[in-house]
Amino acid sequence: MTDPRSQLSRADIGQFQELALALAGESRRMLRAVVTDGFEVKRKPDGSYVTSADLAVERSLRRMVQERFPAHGVIGEELPRHLPDSDFHWVFDPIDGTEEFVRRIPTFGTIIAMFYRDLPVVGVIDVPLLDDRVHAGFGLGTFRGDKRLRLDDIDASTPNRAVRLSMSSRMNFMHRRDHSAAFEAVTRTYPNHCVYRSCYNHLLAATGQADIAIDMSNPIWDIAAARILTEEAGGAFSVVDEFRYEGERIYSCVFGRPALVAQLAAVFTAAASGGVPANA
């Protein structure tokens, strides 16, 4: 089957990527300012944080998209969907890792992606306090600044204990759906792991600083850029679980060096086969 993204010209993809980088720049500017000036913090009904900065950044990014591409849809974490029937959708998480943001832990970031017919065309992860950014466009590669990123596959002789795994916390494995058995199986199989509860996890996989990453039980805005960033660097991306929760499609994903994605997906799938939705 022909990939629908191949219908888009290189010039069009370049325009989309140009806007995505402008959105990342605006988000970075706003977030650095509010970290200094202060912001309001509230709790959502589910207990998670939302801040005045989340809302302000998302409104600004939506405005920029609607000014440049008024026929494109928008999906964001904090505000209602715009033009849901469009073939083109921009997806934002203005602050991924809001808990880290509230506590001034510098691994929070902004996720920006654009999809055509439900497939990612461009993606950006910007981590403003670490001055780090990765971006990708379909057929254009993945970049960190001006440097193109390439993920070599791992040597087949590498022992599991030497594989650098970046992953969600155990709590994320039990959020919305109980995958605690998968957490136990994965951490026993790959004991050299670190935990990041934000898009910094995805950045590590795209850059090769981690060999493989897992992110659990996320709506689309939390994982919007991970696939295009990883695949354009030569890596692989696999959805190992998908279900609907409170009206949203929820995904658990494995991504990074290709051979490891296949191996880890097999471990995960075997362990998670008995998972039951908490509130489907």
Distance of CA 23 to the CA centre of its chain: 16
Tens-place pLDDT, residues 228-237: 999 999 999 9
Domain presence at residue 277? no
d(CA 254, CA 24): 25
Q: Are residues 110 and 166 in the same domain?
A: no
Q: Which residue has the higher pLDDT, 268 or 254?
A: 254
Tens-place pLDDT, residues 6-32: 999 999 999 999 999 999 999 999 999
d(CA 218, CA 236): 18
Query: Crossing angle, helix 10-37 and helix 52-68, to 10 degrees?
Result: 150
Type and span of the H or E element at 226: helix 226-232
Q: Are residues 141 and 169 in the same domain?
A: no
Residue numbers of the domain that contains 50:
4-149
Q: Which residue has the tokens 């959502």?
A: 44
Q: Are residues 17 and 115 in the same domain?
A: yes
pLDDT, residue 269, reads 76
Domain presence at residue 221? yes
pLDDT, residue 142, reads 98
Nearest Cα to 131, choosing from 222, 227, 25, 39? Answer: 25
Count of domains for the chain: 2
Are 106 and 97 contacting, i.e. CB atoms less than 8 angstroms apart?
A: no
- The residue type of 17 is Q
pLDDT, residue 273, reads 59
E strand spans, the chain: 41-43, 49-51, 73-76, 88-96, 109-116, 119-127, 132-137, 141-144, 147-149, 165-167, 193-195, 212-218, 236-245, 248-256
**pLDDT surpasses 60 at 276:** no
Q: Are residues 195 and 140 in the same domain?
A: no
pLDDT, residue 197, reads 85
d(CA 203, CA 180): 25
Tens-place pLDDT, residues 193-216: 999 989 999 999 999 999 999 999
Domain presence at residue 198? yes
First to last CA, the chain: 32
Type and span of the H or E element at 64: helix 52-68
Domain presence at residue 280? no
* CATH number for position 202: 3.40.190.80
